[in-house]
Amino acid sequence: MSAREHKLKVGVAGVRGVVGEFLTPGLAAALAQAFGTYVGDGRVVLGRDTRPSGEMILHAVRCGLLAAGCEVVDVGILPTPTIQVYIAATGARGGIAVTASHNPPEYNALKFFNARGLFCNAYERSEIIDLWHQSAFRHASNAEMRRIGHEAEAPKRIHFDRVLAHVDVDRIRARRFRVALDAVNGAGSLLSVEFLRDRLGCELQAIAVDPTKPFPRVAEPRPDTLGDLAALVRDRSCDIGFAQDPDGDRLAVCDETGRVLDNDDVLALAVDAALSRLPGDVVVNLTTSAAIDDIAARHNRKVYRTPVGEANVVERMQAAKAVIGGEGANGGIIFPAVQYCRDSYNGMAFLLDLMASTGLKVTGLAARMPQYHRRSGNVRYQHGRLATLLQAVEAAFPDAAQDRADGLKLTWPQGWIHVRSSNTEPILRFTVESESEAEADSVFRRVQELAA
């Protein structure tokens, strides 16, 4: 397989690639026309993040949708969860978010959503991609051409109202928390300032909240990329720090000492909060910490696991009627009472409400969670080598229980390994977790050696 094929990927989150040679305006227009053909006449919601190629790809997507006879509702620069909430709330035929989420700025993508504001499922995606492959597009006549409308205020109002209905806003506002924010100059830049400062009454200390500027750090909010946020928390004596990715679906959290929490621990806190209030089980992906199982057991609930990918988790959540779910490794919290989607705003509201109700600092909240040691890494691999790598890992741990639902997950009483190919980039991801820090380090080094 050539490098060209590696740089354009069709996955559970849509079609993603490096802009220019691989993801072009022509391709974006064709994919949008295929989507418009599939969903049929009616309104399609369209929004984007702040990456430099966004406006170009947005214009192409508009053309494709109009060519298929759709009415386009352009909501501008908005977080992906806000777009999803708005699609479901307004009876649109579907929607497209032009965003490559946590990927580097040279990437962009088309994320396809159905009328319920959910990622298109495997059947829907296959139908859209088949229409694209066959160029079997609807071509609207001149008389059938629809207009482009614009809506800036309603999406955020609807989203905020849904999130804040599940926390005690007055209690949070009374605490006047000092909050640090790093919005990576992404789609949440302005929205997150309004949410935290104006709606929740926080004393906000914000960096990277200018959507006209480039991403100032690696797009994915991880402990190793959030040094500026950690310093801001310490320098301004903040109670908590929040970091988002460019489309606002992922959340990272910094405690009052400047330590960035493991994303699995952030999800664990949200799960504990939800299970304390509402009935229902939990759905997470295979890479999410066993801490979720421990928390669910405390509440006498079940945990279901799926392959990595928001669409996979959401599909199982619906089947299980789960009250909460998510993907710990990537900071994704899914709370269906608001919308079946990863949503950093749910996470921010839950954590502030927990702090307000318990009187605990973030370190105190985290100390109540089950303690595991996790290590994660990735490595680029050549096409054709994936099967060999998985076989080598399997052979190195012959006594572990195997799960091949998504790459290879090996489990033993004290821990586990999950090795899988990324859904969005040509890299191999591997995660290790153990009750023992020494075992976590040892197993992680072994997997690194095998993958090198």
pLDDT tens-digit map of 104-140:
999 999 999 999 999 998 899 999 999 999 999 999 9
Same domain, 88 and 8: yes
Of residues 186, 174, 114, the one with CA closest to residue 344: 186
Same domain, 95 and 189: no
* Amino acid of residue 386: L
Instruction: Estimate to the nearest angstrom the gap between the alpha carbon of 148 and the chain centroid.
Output: 28
CATH number at residue 247: 3.40.120.10
Return the beta strands (E) in 186-327 as ranges: 203-207, 240-244, 251-254, 282-285, 303-306, 324-327
Same domain, 311 and 388: no
* pLDDT of res. 66: 98
CB 11 within 8 A of CB 120: no
Check residues 90 and 13 and name the one with the higher pLDDT. 90
Same domain, 300 and 418: no
* pLDDT of res. 383: 65
In the numeric block, which tokens belong to residue 451? 């993958």
* pLDDT of res. 428: 84
Q: Choose the final residue of a domain: 151, 181, 205.
A: 151
- pLDDT band for position 384 (cuts 50, 70, 90): low
Q: Rounded to the nearest 5°, which phi and psi values hold at 397?
A: -135, 70
**Unique residue bearing structure tokens 């993801």:** 23
Catalytic residues: 101
Query: At a CB cut-off of 8 Å and minimum separation 6, what does 153 contact?
Result: none
Same domain, 36 and 143: yes
Share the mean pLDDT of the chain: 93
pTM as predicted: 0.91
Q: Where are the alpha helices (DSSP H) in 165-290?
A: 169-175, 189-193, 227-235, 263-277
Same domain, 309 and 232: yes
Distance CA 329, CA 362 (A): 19
Summarize the confidence of residues 412-416 as an average pLDDT.
Answer: 94
Same domain, 388 and 418: yes
Same domain, 167 and 241: yes
Same domain, 146 and 123: yes
Distance CA 242, CA 183 (A): 8
Of residues 317, 350, 348, the one with CA closest to residue 79: 348
CATH number at residue 384: 3.30.310.50
Same domain, 189 and 133: no
- pLDDT band for position 413 (cuts 50, 70, 90): very high
Q: Choose the final residue of a domain: 102, 120, 151.
A: 151
Same domain, 176 and 314: yes
CB 135 within 8 A of CB 64: no
* pLDDT of res. 1: 36
Give kind and range of the element (H or E) at residue 333: strand 332-334
**How many domains are there within the chain?**
3
Same domain, 7 and 98: yes
Task: Provide the domain limits for residue 95.
Answer: 3-151
Q: Choose the final residue of a domain: 335, 351, 367.
A: 367
Q: What sign does the dihedral 424-284-77-48 (CA atoms) show? A: positive
CB 414 within 8 A of CB 436: yes
CB 251 within 8 A of CB 242: yes
